[in-house]
Amino acid sequence: MYTYENLHHFIKNIFCKIGCSPVDAETVAEVLLSAELRGIESHGMLRISDYYNLWKAKRINATPVITIVHETPSTAVIDGDSGLGMVVGKKAMLLAIEKAKTVGTGWVSVSNSNHFGIAGYFSMMALKEDMIGISMTNANPLVAPTFSTDRLLGTNPIAVAIPAGNQPAYVADFATTPIARGKLDLMHKKNKKAPLGYVQDKDGNPSEDPNILTQGGAILPLGGDYEHGSHKGYCLGSIVDIFSAVLSGAGYGPWVPPSVAYLPVKEKNDVKGTGHFFGAMRIDAFRTATEFKKTMDEWILTFRNAKPAKGQEKVLVPGDIERDNEERRKKEGIPIMPLLVEKVNQIATELGIENIK
């Protein structure tokens, strides 16, 4: 087990060392550790080596000049200047929140960014302002649209955070596919089969091989097959792609610059990085925050107190599991796999800074 403080110190050191400002390095630490605390290890410390390798390949700019390209009272497009996604994303979400303060809502589409960590971090930034927060991003092209074998979309997550009163906030944060890429990697490492409905092979046949992505296979959209609504998952993934990249001018669909080794960087001159989309809606732009939160508490209790199906213990409200993890890990510390500790310590040694305490 590691303490939040020690890991924060370690991550901050790494990103300061590659040239980030202390404030930006703290943002990276905060977003990665938010994933670790919430139990989404696939988006935590595990990503440090990806970011480090992209920085070494000069695909991440540690000192980006992030600019507003265009804006109206409720919207903006931001160019992230190839910065770390967490740094660019936080700035974009803060701008959405500022706009919501003035005209009720704020919507910011982002180009020239990189992988931003967990989408939920940004949507949750809105909560303390009594706003609903929305965030989404496109990602490595590994998902085939319904009826196709071409990998044209990412797992393109959507996160929505909604304030409540006495109850903890509602926080949904989910990929628009049945399974996230990181979880397939984990199945492969553990020598497990993937359930049918997660992936297909390069010809579009159903597959149970969690490693099929390295052989031209694809993740399926949420729904799995057409009969079970995969075209709806395809709609969701493509809406995220268009809001994140066509609105901002970032790389869309197959042109999202890949961050996994088995996807080649495609030749296209004008690709402007990864795209994100953020939204903030002030609750009292609709009804008083007091009224809304009272109703939201009722909503949450209605769902949490619903009758469990046979064999199930309880019904969950989106965010329950992650919040439980967060509370426990804040007390007990954060478990990090020994192999991962070794890997990030190697990077620290390469950079000439101290290892994890």
Q: Which two tokens stand for residue 287?
A: 């009804």
In the structure encoding, which two tokens stand for residue 268, read together? 């296209």
Contact by Cβ (8 Å): 133, 126: yes
Kindly tell me which residue out of 3, 5, 19, 70 binds a copy of itself, with binding defined by CB under 8 A. Answer: 70
Nearest to 118 by CA among 232, 41, 220: 41
Check: CB of residue 81 under 8 Å from CB of residue 65.
yes
Stretch in the footprint of a copy of itself (CB under 8 A) among 52-60, 80-88, 118-126, 145-153: 145-153
Nearer to a copy of itself, 19 or 195 (CB): 195
CA–CA gap between residue 99 and residue 95 (Å, rounded) = 6
Q: Which of 6, 23, 68, 150 binds a copy of itself (CB under 8 A)?
A: 150
Rule CB under 8 A: say whether 232 interacts with a copy of itself: yes
Please pick, from the candidates 1, 58, 191, 227, the single residue that binds a copy of itself as defined by CB under 8 A.
Answer: 227
Residue 105 or 274: which CB sits closer to a copy of itself?
Answer: 105
Q: Binding to a copy of itself by residue 112, rule CB under 8 A?
A: no
Among 44, 83, 117, 178, binds a copy of itself (CB under 8 A): 178
Distance CA 11, CA 345 (A): 11
Taking the CB of residue 41, how many other CB atoms lie within 10 A of it? 18
Is 253 a residue that touches a copy of itself (CB under 8 A)?
yes
From the list 3, 189, 291, 357, which residue makes contact with a copy of itself (rule: CB under 8 A)? 291
Instruction: Report the residue number, 104 or 333, with the smaller CB distance to a copy of itself.
Output: 104
Give the residue, chosen from 119, 212, 256, 281, that forms a contact with a copy of itself under the rule CB under 8 A.
Answer: 281
According to the binding rule CB under 8 A, does residue 278 interact with a copy of itself? no
CB-based contacts of 249, cutoff 8 Å, min separation 6: 77, 111, 272
Q: Which C-beta is closer to a copy of itself: that of 189 or that of 314?
A: 314
Nearest residue (CB) to a copy of itself, 64 versus 145: 145
Residue 45 · residue 336 · CB < 8 Å:
yes
Our measurement of the distance from residue 127's CA atom to the centroid of its chain's CA atoms, rounded to an integer in Å, reads 17
Binding test (CB under 8 A) with a copy of itself, winner from 130, 303, 348, 353? 303
Rounded Cα distance, 65 and 68, in Å = 10
How many residues sit close enough to a copy of itself to count as binding (CB under 8 A)? 85
* Count of Cβ atoms closer than 10 Å to residue 62 Cβ: 19
